Every structure is written in structure tokens, then in C-alpha cells.
Amino acid sequence: MSFDAPFLRQSLLDAAVEGDLDAVVHTLDEGGASIANLIDSVDAATGLTALHHSCMRGFVEIVCYLVRHGAAVGICDHFRKTPLHHACHFGFTEEGETALHLAAQYDQVDAAKLLVSCGANIQHATIATGDTPLHYACRAGAIQVAVFLVSLGQSVHDLNKAYLDSKASVKAMQVQVVRQRKLEEMEVRFRIVSFRIVSIRIIRHRQSERI
């Protein structure tokens, strides 16, 4: 079967878009000996390959599979973007970490500059903690990357989710303390009123006995 069969090319691209690793494997198996050419099939409208699509959507397993099987990492789409460009701009881990986060964490300023030049978003925040690359750099003491990110306009006043959550927790605790104090005050008042009622009854009872 010829590697340039239209349905095989389209099947591979569709599988990459949908993140279907099994379909990617099956399609390339169908290509047989022509896998080297099929794997770099290009979408005529956009110039995107299966590797482009996978990098754009963060489908790490498919990216690894395609690269292991010889997918070209330097092919440009119609906008002259390679898969690496799209990985830098769109790609992230399940936790929301981008390549720029990792470069920041290990103070790899040259890598950070390359990633930014490829379109990496310096304001991208992780899912769980809301950390930007600058948060990572500051936490790790990565001075060079921190200075670089600030020079690009990254605000040093951005708050991460941990800080916002801690403020919310403190606020909730304060509300709980206020409520508890009010309940305690009400209980004290109730006891005072009850004591007064009992005292009045005792006094009246004694007065009635005297009569």
C-alpha cells in the first residue's frame, strides 16, 4: 500500500489531533515500509504534521512515539513554525508546567531565551499552584532567569494560588472565630438570663413562705 494514500495521511493527522495513540500506531503500521514518509505527512491547508498537532496539544506519548520512529522535528508549517515552536507556545505537562518553567527552575537562561523566542508564554501558570516561571525561578534562586523574565515585563507582584488560598483560609478562619465568639457570647448571656430568672423565682418563693 502506497504511503501517499490520502486516507492514510488524513488518518494519521486526525489521530494526532484527537490524541489517539492507538490510532497513530495502527495507521503507521498500515503504512508498512513507507512509514518514514508517512510519518511526516503534511496537512495541505496548514502545513502541520502529526508531530506539530501533538506538540500543540501536549500529547506527550504521541510526541515521543513519533520522534522515536523518525518524525522530522525541523519541518515548518505555513507560518514557519516547527513542532518545537508549538511545544514552547502550547505544550505543558499534566500539572501545567511548561518547558520555560523547567528552564527557570534550573536557571538555564539560554534555554529560557530560546523558548521565549519560540513563543513560550512567560505568564503561563501551573494548574495546582498557579506558579509562573518567575515563581519557579525565585523559589529555586535562579537569579539569571529571574532577571531575564523581569526584563520582559513579568510582574514581581503576581500572586500564586497558594498565596490566594492561604488568604482565603485565613479569612475563613477569621469568620469562624467571629462566629464562635458570637456563639460563646450568646451562651454566656443565656446563662446570665437563666440565672436571673432562677434567682427571681427563689426570692419570690422565700417571700411567699414568709407571708
Contact 70, 36 (CB under 8 A): yes
For 58-117, how does the pLDDT look when each residue is reduced to its tens digit (9 = 90+)?
787 898 899 889 899 889 999 998 888 887 777 666 677 888 888 898 888 988 898 888
Whole-angstrom distance, CA of residue 9 vs CA of residue 40 = 9
In the block, cell 498500515 appears at 30
Question: Among 13-17, 29-33, 72-76, 173-177, whose mean pLDDT is lowest?
Answer: 173-177
Question: Among 123-132, 154-163, 182-191, whose mean pLDDT is lowest?
Answer: 154-163
* pLDDT band at residue 176 under the 50/70/90 scheme: low
Of 10 and 193, the structure prediction assigns the larger pLDDT to: 10
In the block, cell 505537562 appears at 93
Whole-angstrom distance, CA of residue 153 vs CA of residue 123 = 10
| Residue 80, amino acid | R
Q: Residue 170 has what pLDDT?
A: 43
Q: Residue 92 has what pLDDT?
A: 64
Cell representation of residue 197: 430568672
In terms of C-beta distances under 8 Å and separation of at least 24 residues, what long-range contacts does 95-98 make, across chains too?
A: 95/126, 95/127, 95/128, 96/124, 96/125, 96/126, 96/127, 96/128, 97/126, 98/124, 98/133
Q: What is the mean pLDDT of residues 34-44?
A: 85
pLDDT for 192 beyond 50: yes
Residue 183 — φ and ψ, nearest 5°?
Answer: -65, -40
Of 43 and 168, the structure prediction assigns the larger pLDDT to: 43
Cell representation of residue 177: 472565630
Other beta carbons within 10 Å of 17: 17
What integer best gives the mean pLDDT of the chain? 81
Q: CB burial class (10 A; 0-12, 13-18, 19+) of residue 134?
A: buried
Q: Residue 139 has what pLDDT?
A: 86
Q: Residue 195 has what pLDDT?
A: 79
